[in-house]
């Protein structure tokens, strides 16, 4: 007799299935996208990819949890101002539960993990590790929802992502608990957190983006405030470029990036937007090499190719496009 699943597992699966059933990823044909659509997509990818470089600049001089909090405060201020100008109604009722979960998994947690990790992990390596996000999303969707059924392409894609991580870390460091390995695992944890967020936010697509985005950022900021207790804030002296980079991360990847995601989806659809998964890590690594002088080792380039190949294979014969971060990097 086959043993039944634990009650908590059944409840969790039912909850996620109910959530995902309420909304689907829409999208028009990629073939119908215009040159302007592709220009917006490349611009968005460049903005999101630049965040890795800017985060490295900020956390080199400022405490990481302070960086996270200020970044969220800037973005929340911008999005709340937009929400007030548009006079759209704010969400009410039980929908605040997934909004709160999305604020945590799509903003507070990955931002904190990335800021802490990038104190020592190169921006280029962080961007390559984040390329695994859509595969984590697909794995979670197939495990916890009815939107995706397991298929061999998804399995191959996820297996390639794991191979890419092994190549990037190096077999000798894969199970190491040293500081550098823990920080690399933190980046992978951020990618997984974004994957969880992509599942949660699927039931929120019908809400007004102006007030929903402001709600995400406001709650994410509240969740981040206790993290300030982790850092020592006695010395916040930093060069101008660090403060400029911090302002940039709040304004561009976090606030403007969230708005631009909505614009691209409404113009060309979610399937079209999902192509950004191939572009962001490339821009992230390119900017880090060009502006920070980082050197990409051969194993990092090989890992990037393997991971992106996994994403490409996993895209085949899926009923829905592999989602992007819904939030911002």
Q: What is the pLDDT of residues 54-99, one digit of tens each?
A: 999 999 999 999 999 999 999 999 999 999 999 889 999 999 999 9
Residue 203 clears pLDDT 60, i.e. is over it = yes
Res 5: pLDDT = 46
Res 252: pLDDT = 98
In this predicted structure, which of 111-115, 119-123, 166-170, 280-284 has the lowest mean pLDDT? 166-170
CA distance 185 to 91: 35
The pLDDT mean for the chain works out to: 86
Q: How confident is the model at residue 205 (pLDDT cuts 50, 70, 90)?
A: confident
Q: How confident is the model at residue 274 (pLDDT cuts 50, 70, 90)?
A: confident
Q: Using DSSP, state whether 206 is helix, strand or coil.
A: coil
| Both structure tokens of 21 | 């059933």
> Which of 79, 122, 146 is CA-nearest to residue 328?
79
Res 2: pLDDT = 41
Name, of 1-10, 14-23, 313-322, the range with top average pLDDT: 313-322
CA distance 164 to 90: 42
Across the range 204-211, mean pLDDT stands at 88
> Which of 211, 217, 222, 227 is CA-nearest to residue 75?
217
Task: List, in sequence order, every beta strand (DSSP E) within the chain.
Answer: none
In this predicted structure, which of 70-84, 95-109, 196-210, 275-289 has the lowest mean pLDDT? 196-210
Res 151: pLDDT = 79
Res 229: pLDDT = 94
CA distance 329 to 327: 7
| Both structure tokens of 88 | 């759209």
Residue 4 clears pLDDT 80, i.e. is over it = no
CA distances from 123 to 102, 188, 268, 289 (A): 25, 13, 30, 9
Phi and psi at 158, nearest 5°, equal -65, -40
Across the range 221-225, mean pLDDT stands at 98
CA distance 209 to 204: 9
Are the C-beta atoms of residues 313 and 161 closer than 8 Å to each other? no
Across the range 114-121, mean pLDDT stands at 97
Q: How confident is the model at residue 23 (pLDDT cuts 50, 70, 90)?
A: very low
Res 86: pLDDT = 92
Most distant pair of Cα atoms in the chain: their distance: 67
Are the C-beta atoms of residues 114 and 190 closer than 8 Å to each other? yes
Domain segments of the chain as ranges:
36-314
Res 21: pLDDT = 38
Are the C-beta atoms of residues 77 and 254 closer than 8 Å to each other? no
What are residue 27's DSSP bridge partners?
269
CA distance 26 to 137: 17
CA distances from 186 to 110, 155, 320 (A): 9, 23, 28
Q: 199 Cβ partners below 8 Å, 6+ apart?
A: 16, 19, 20, 137, 140, 141, 144, 145
CA distance 133 to 53: 18
Which residue has better confidence, 28 or 273? 273
Across the range 100-126, mean pLDDT stands at 97
Across the range 211-236, mean pLDDT stands at 94
Are the C-beta atoms of residues 186 and 117 closer than 8 Å to each other? yes
Across the range 231-256, mean pLDDT stands at 95
Across the range 292-321, mean pLDDT stands at 85
Res 180: pLDDT = 83
In this predicted structure, which of 134-143, 183-192, 205-214 has the lowest mean pLDDT? 134-143
What are residue 329's DSSP bridge partners?
none
């Amino acid at each position: 007799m086959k043993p039944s699943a634990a009650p908590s597992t059944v409840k969790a699966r039912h909850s996620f299935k109910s959530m995902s059933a309420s909304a689907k990823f829409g999208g028009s044909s990629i073939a119908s996208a215009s040159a302007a659509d592709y220009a917006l997509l490349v611009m968005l990818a460049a903005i999101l990819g630049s965040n890795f470089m800017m985060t490295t600049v900020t956390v080199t001089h400022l405490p990481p949890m302070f960086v996270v909090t200020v970044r969220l405060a800037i973005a929340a201020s911008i999005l709340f101002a937009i929400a007030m100008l548009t006079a759209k109604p704010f969400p009410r009722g039980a929908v605040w539960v997934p909004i709160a979960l999305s604020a945590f998994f799509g903003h507070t947690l990955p931002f904190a993990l990335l800021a802490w990790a990038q104190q020592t992990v190169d921006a280029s390596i962080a961007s390559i590790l984040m390329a695994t996000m859509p595969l984590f999303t697909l794995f979670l969707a197939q495990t916890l929802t009815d939107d995706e059924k397991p298929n061999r392409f998804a399995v191959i894609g996820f297996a390639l992502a794991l191979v890419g991580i092994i190549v990037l870390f190096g077999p000798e460091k894969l199970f190491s608990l040293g500081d550098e390995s823990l920080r690399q695992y933190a980046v992978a944890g951020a990618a997984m957190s974004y994957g969880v967020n992509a599942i949660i936010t699927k039931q929120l697509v019908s809400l007004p983006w102006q007030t929903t985005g402001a709600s995400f950022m406001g709650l994410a900021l509240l969740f981040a405030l206790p993290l300030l207790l982790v850092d020592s804030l006695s010395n916040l002296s930093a060069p101008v470029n660090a403060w400029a980079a911090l302002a940039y991360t709040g304004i561009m990847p976090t606030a403007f990036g969230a708005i631009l995601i909505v614009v691209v989806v409404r113009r060309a659809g979610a399937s079209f937007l999902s192509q950004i998964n191939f572009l962001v890590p490339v821009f992230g690594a390119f900017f880090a090499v060009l502006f920070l002088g980082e050197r990409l080792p051969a194993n990092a380039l090989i890992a990037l190719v393997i991971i992106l190949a996994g994403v490409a294979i996993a895209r085949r014969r899926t009923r829905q496009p592999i989602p992007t971060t819904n939030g911002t990097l």
